[in-house]
Amino acid sequence: MAKKKKTSPGTLAVNRKARHDFNIESTIEAGIVLKGTEIKSIRRGSANLKDSYAQVKKGEIWLQNMHIAPYEEGNQFNHDPRRSRKLLLHQREINKIGEQTREVGYSIVPLKLYLKRGNCKVLLGIARGKKKYDKRQALKEKAMKRDVDRALKARY
């Protein structure tokens, strides 16, 4: 059985698919605006970053398509699971990201959702999409590294 990868204690969700589909060129940390029961649901581990992305609209940056399951103990004021969520960044950072993503092929992809001093943060990556042959090459390199590690472990 495969070992589960260790994550840091504050990490709540990781977008593993992003590193496979994109070349991450730079990262930036952003706060996230949440409603009532969303933070409780996130702390439970009910957040999913798969297929989510961020985009700049009218000088603000919004996280789209991130799924946060409704809080079970919540009442009728529970949130919509896939609503757009505003990200908190300084205006100069938003402008910088906007300039970088205006180039063809660049996207803003959330990589990790975590807690920092009790606040929920998102690690965003400025990413360029990989071609199919790049993905195959990355899988080959990963397999070769795994084989080398196995051989060294068996030897010592």
What is the per-residue pLDDT for 7? 60
Buried b (16+ CB within 10 A) or exposed e, 115-132: beeeebbbbbbbbeebee
- Provide the pLDDT confidence category of residue 19 given band limits of 50, 70 and 90: confident
pLDDT digits (tens, 9 = 90+) for 30-70: 999 988 888 888 888 888 898 899 999 998 999 999 998 88
> Taking Cα atoms as reference points, which of 4, 25, 5, 3 lies closest to residue 111?
25
- In this structure, is residue 5 part of a structural domain? no
- In this structure, is residue 149 part of a structural domain? no
> Taking Cα atoms as reference points, which of 93, 90, 88, 43 lies closest to residue 68?
43
- In this structure, is residue 54 part of a structural domain? yes
Is the predicted pLDDT of residue 76 greater than 90, yes or no? no
- Provide the pLDDT confidence category of residue 153 given band limits of 50, 70 and 90: confident
- In this structure, is residue 98 part of a structural domain? yes
CB atoms within 10 A of CB 111: 19
CATH code, domain carrying 77: 2.40.280.10
Q: Is 90 helix (H, G, I), strand (E, B) or coil?
A: coil
In the chain, the number of structural domains is 1
The partner residues of 114 in beta bridges, in order of sequence, read 11, 121
- In this structure, is residue 137 part of a structural domain? no
The overall average pLDDT reported for the chain is 85
pTM of the model: 0.76
- In this structure, is residue 61 part of a structural domain? yes
Owning domain of residue 45: 12-130
Show the tokens assigned to 27.
């990262």
What is the per-residue pLDDT for 3? 57
Please say whether the beta carbons of 124 and 27 come within 8 A: yes
Is the predicted pLDDT of residue 6 greater than 70, yes or no? no
